[in-house]
Amino acid sequence: MIKGIEKIITKLKGTPYIIDNNLTLFAFLGILLKRTGMLLRGILTQPFLLESGHLFFRGRKVSLTGKKKIKVGKGVTLSDYSGINANLKNFVSIGDNFSLGERSFIEGFGVMTDLGNEITIGNNVGIAANSLISVRGNITIGDDVIIGPYFSLHSENHNFSDRVSPIRMQGVTRKNVIIEDDVWIGAKVTVLAGVTIKRGSVIAAGSVVTKDTTEFGIYGGVPAKFIKERK
């Protein structure tokens, strides 16, 4: 049975997938049962989405708003208590083999007077638990991106240049955020509006990224600064 599952997952992902020998049969069956329940919920959800590839896994108490603006590829997993709010001007577009961790949210709706723009996510992207992506300006995440837990991304800033008016009355500035292919972002990283994280970059845990990175650069700190280049 396990070998059969390995073959199926390998075919879906396009890369070899070998289950650890230390995983007990009891634990494996528990995981299989949970994934089966997620798949059934996904099958019931698919007709309501704008587009959906096969094998869509939806966890327990997943919140999906604006379903007709959500496009997902094959092998997409939305873990328990996660959510997508797609009340946007455009769409939430997600590629193949995407996973959204428990209690993580893609949040497109801020206020009714000015909806967020859009978010496009490539193939083989994983976003770990307790993360928030706030879609205001356009957000693009490329292929093969790994994002750790407690990540946050914000594509909007509040204006505050006027000392007399309350900040909440001064409006906002939206800027696009781009995370290119083959990027690893550690736990508790914050990415701010207007940033491009270039291909192959590594962002250390706890960093706040306020400026563009260079290709294959390693960055860390608050604000994040260049440490060295990947070899």
* Nearest-angstrom CA–CA distance, 75 and 146: 16
Which tokens belong to 107? Answer: 């949040």
Q: Is 64 helix (H, G, I), strand (E, B) or coil?
A: strand
Tell me the torsion sign for CA atoms 134, 140, 143, 147. negative
Beta bridge partners of 218: 202, 228
Give the C-alpha separation, 99 to 59, whole Å: 11
Question: In a 3-state reduction of DSSP, which class is residue 13?
Answer: helix
Omega before 223 within 30 of 0, i.e. cis: yes
Residue 204 to residue 59: CA distance in whole angstroms: 29
54 included as an active-site residue: no
Enclosing H/E stretch for 37: helix 25-45
Q: Checking phi first, is residue 144 left (phi over 0); if not, alpha (psi -120 to 50) or beta?
A: left
The C-alpha angle with vertex 124 and arms to 123 and 128, in degrees rounded to 5, equals 125
Q: Which among 60, 89, 158, 228 is annotated as catalytic?
A: 158
Q: What are the catalytic residues?
A: 158
